[in-house]
Amino acid sequence: MKLERSSALLGAFAVGAVTLAGCGSDNNSSTGTSGGSTAAESSASCTGKENLSGAGSSAQKNAMDSFTAAYISACSAKGKKVNVAYNPSGSGDGRTQFIAEQIDFAGSDSAIKDEQAAQAKQRCGGNDAWNLPLVFGPISLAYNIEGVDRLVLDGETAAKVFNGGITKWNDPAIAALNRGVALPDTDITVFVRSDSSGTTDNFQQYLAAAAPQAWTQGAGSDFKGGVGQGAKGSAGVAQSVAGTPGAIGYVEKSFADQNKLRSAEIDNGAGPVELSAATASKAIAGAQFTAEGSMNLALDLKSTYQTKAAGVYPLILATYEIVCSKGYDADTSAAVKSFLTSAVNEGQSGLEQLGYVPLPNDFKAKAAASIEAIG
């Protein structure tokens, strides 16, 4: 099944800077504006335990703050006090904490699978853990080159930059994609995630799919390119690139925007494509599920990463909430379902201004059905 775009996704949106809470903070109780339905109309039950805990993906930190604010507002309107403490400690750490029963749900930019999925099944009392993508976000190849307002890369050049095959900004391969641009004869400073990260996994999956001959290091949550300086979290990478002339890194668009970084255009074979809501939406429209008809909504993005369709920005990620399909105690189950119901509905409004692409309507319905089925 392909995800169809809603008409709302076809328009470009203005991306505004938002204040990012400290990367180590787990207090998300600040107020905010909920969207979609009004608080009084929210379908969230606001039942179950008062305080939920989550950890993981820093890519979805800004979205999680917005989800939490919308949930608090919706439940306050119903006379209920709730809170969600989310620590953006990285996708790998979130999955580990979820398996260890230290948190109620994990945020992850890649689906839980293989050995970790088996471990999560034990944590969930013999029941499967589900991957529920509630936010889509394009990944920016964010760069800091003085005087270069427009930079074009393709999968092969990006792969060689991030594995050390290209070390100068005026390398002939980059120059060929940027004719007429005065590229400096300076070293490229690469920044990568130092923590285990789903963003890293998605980025490396893209490189492996788009440039299999240039990127032979494989994928995974830990960076395998062998070059670069490590920085903690998406915020850390973006801040490092912003403070280092000649730098490049991979971060979600929201973090690139917050740090006023330019994003390279990607030439996927049909000409350069800038990172925008419209071009990312076209990529999302081509995404496919790994298992049709399942309540576990993990996605297979390989075909998206390999696309040669015109006007499609191929480097996107789906960021998941990992939850037990069954196996929670009654109070936790009710609270998890209530929070995610709010997130998939009124929580989606306003994500555009945070640099994300909201769920297409047909996918929103599938996510809502999976949330309702949590036991």
Q: Kindly give the confidence (pLDDT) of every residue in the chain, 375 residues in length, as a single tens digit, with 9 standing for 90 and above.
A: 343 333 333 233 233 333 333 333 333 333 333 334 444 578 999 999 999 999 999 889 999 999 999 999 999 999 999 999 999 998 999 999 999 999 999 999 889 999 999 999 999 999 999 999 998 889 999 999 999 999 999 999 999 999 999 999 999 999 999 999 999 999 999 999 999 888 899 999 999 999 999 999 999 989 999 999 999 988 999 999 999 999 999 999 989 999 999 999 999 999 999 998 789 888 887 788 898 779 999 998 988 999 999 999 999 988 899 999 999 999 999 999 999 999 999 999 988 888 888 887 878 899 999 999 999
pLDDT tens-digit readout, 204-222: 999 999 999 999 999 998 9
Which of 3.30.70.270, 3.40.50.880, 3.30.450.30, 3.40.190.10 would CATH assign to domain 138-281? 3.40.190.10
CA distance 53 to 63: 15
Helix/strand/coil for 266: strand
Q: Residue holding tokens 């008809």?
A: 293
Locate 211 and state its tokens.
Answer: 């440039």
Locate 15 and state its tokens.
Answer: 């991306």
CA distance 127 to 85: 25
Helix/strand/coil for 236: helix
Among positive and negative, which fits the CA dihedral 76, 81, 87, 92?
Answer: negative
CA angle at residue 322 from 317 to 328, to 5 degrees? 170
- Identify the pLDDT of residue 207: 98
Locate 298 and state its tokens.
Answer: 């993990």
With respect to CATH, is domain 11-137+321-372 assigned 3.30.565.10?
A: no
Going from N- to C-terminal start, the domains of the chain cover 11-137+321-372, 138-281
Q: Which residues contact 256 (CB under 8 A, 6 or more apart)?
A: 140, 142, 238, 262, 263, 355
Say what angle helices 198-210 and 155-162 make with each other, to 10 degrees. 130
What is the gyration radius of the CA atoms in the chain, in angstroms? 20
Domains 11-137+321-372 and 138-281 in one fold: yes
Residue burial 27-65, b: 16+ Cβ < 10 Å; e: rest? ebeeebebbbbebeebebbbbbbeebbbbbbbbbbbbbb
Would you say 223 and 193 are in contact if contact means Cβ atoms under 8 Å apart?
yes
- Identify the pLDDT of residue 28: 34
pTM beyond 0.85: the answer is no
Would you say 142 and 265 are in contact if contact means Cβ atoms under 8 Å apart?
no
Helix (H) or strand (E) holding 366: helix 361-372
